[in-house]
Structure 1
Amino acid sequence: MSDLMVTMRTTRFVAAVAVVAAGSVLAGCSGGGSAGETGQPAPQNVLAGFDPCKVDPQALGATAPGEPVDDGSGEQGCEFEAGDAIVAVYKGENDSLQFWEGQRDRFGVFEPNQVGARKGIKQVSKGAVGQGICNQVIEVGSGSVSVQVNNSGNEPNDDATCAKAMEIAQAVEPTLPK
């Protein structure tokens, strides 16, 4: 084998290694990491001081203050009587929209949407489809606030219940921490 052919093979090998190494470096710089790794600041926990029971009852269609409630998930919540419906407001300090995306298979209805200036998700649990119970999630910093309407005693209709949940969420959204 001539010295020229050995040099050409070595040069091609070195060039191939350089291309692979450059690709690895560039892949490491792409936006595939967490918020802190991409150079963008991670959303803040702005919900620490938010109390769901301090939401204006009139914004929910209620006439009296709400009662604290624990749904068993660790989210702090408050229930209000609003005519024939029960409206609950929950805060999930660590329940970002990405968290809810990971829970998507638990819902019969799961539709990303917009609530005022914020991202949201309309949800009806698989076991609650057709029973007049709907959640409207609102993104708040690194967490979320959920408005749940339980209209099950009033000829349940998911579309009407979800429309009511959105109406209430739109009234609550401007009062949420930024």
Structure 2
Amino acid sequence: MRKLRFGAAAALAAAGLLAAGCSGGTAPKPEPSTEPTTSNALASFDPCTALTPTEIRSFGAAPEGKPNDLGIGEVGCDYMGEDFEFGVLKAGKSDEAYWQQRRNSFDAFTPNQVGSHSGFAGIALSGKGQGVCRQMMYVGSGSVIVDITYSADKIQSDDATCAKAMEIAQVVEPKLPM
């Protein structure tokens, strides 16, 4: 729809310029677009600098983050602890509607609130009891994700795993754009 509107506007503008060139007048100014503009609120958010080294250490992980690109529009950094790994990721095009459409991809999908951002705690299909949890926070047309995975021999309960993801998310959340 947007390409069609842009193409029609461009054709009208070109016709106006052509007419102006022939008549010696000025080209009419295009009408302002009434289409809502959607900017990505997360464009300037860097998940790899969202936490300070001191904050990362307080969660029991080494502050040296390892860049992570899941190849599905989720990028960020992972941090290694002795018993677990956690990541802070941003998904610039994965808003609330996106995640709601994928509810069936989760064994657990619990809507919640992290500070002023709504979101959910989720455990992927076949992930219950495996020491994994993702805490999503909706930000504009995207989302920020804190995920955590415990080592096989140190698996926590699902509640404890999601509580740890929430603990980290509560430190990230005040740094998010509205």
Q: Same fold (TM over 0.5)?
A: yes
How much has 1:94 moved relative to structure 2? Answer: 0.8
Q: Shift of the alpha carbon at 1:42?
A: 6.6
State how far apart, in whole Å, the 1-side matches of 2:112 and 2:166 are.
Answer: 10
How many angstroms does 1:90 deviate by? Answer: 1.0
- CA drift at 1:80: 0.6
Contact 1:59–1:172, Cα closer than 8 Å, also in 2: no
Number of aligned residues = 140
Structure 2: where are the runs of 5+ without partners?
1-33
Compute the displacement of 1:107 (Å). Answer: 0.2
Q: Are 1:52 and 2:52 counterparts?
A: no
The answer to whether 1:147 aligns with 2:146 is: yes
Instruction: Determine helix, strand or coil for the equivalent of 1:73.
Output: coil
Task: Give the 3-state SS of the residue equivalent to 1:174 in structure 2.
Answer: helix
TM-score by length of structure 1 reads: 0.72
Residues 13-66 of structure 1 deviation map (CA, whole Å, 9 limit, x = unaligned): xxxxxxxxxxxxxxxxxxxxxxx98xxx67641111212111224434233131
Q: Aligned runs of 1:25-174 on 2, under 5 Å?
A: 44-56=39-51, 57-60=53-56, 61=59, 62-153=61-152, 154-174=154-174
Cα deviation for residue 176 of structure 1 reads 1.3
Structure 1 residue 138: Cα displacement: 0.5
Letter in 1 for 2:49: K
Q: Which stretches in structure 1 are left out of the alignment for 5+ residues? A: 1-35
- Percent same amino acid among aligned pairs? 45
- CA–CA separation in structure 2 for the residues paired with 1:107 and 1:69: 22
Higher Rg = 1
State the Cα RMSD in Å. Answer: 1.9
Contact 1:131 1:152 in 2 (8 A): no
Cα distance in structure 1, aligned partners of 2:108 and 2:38 = 27
Aligned with 2:79: secondary structure? strand
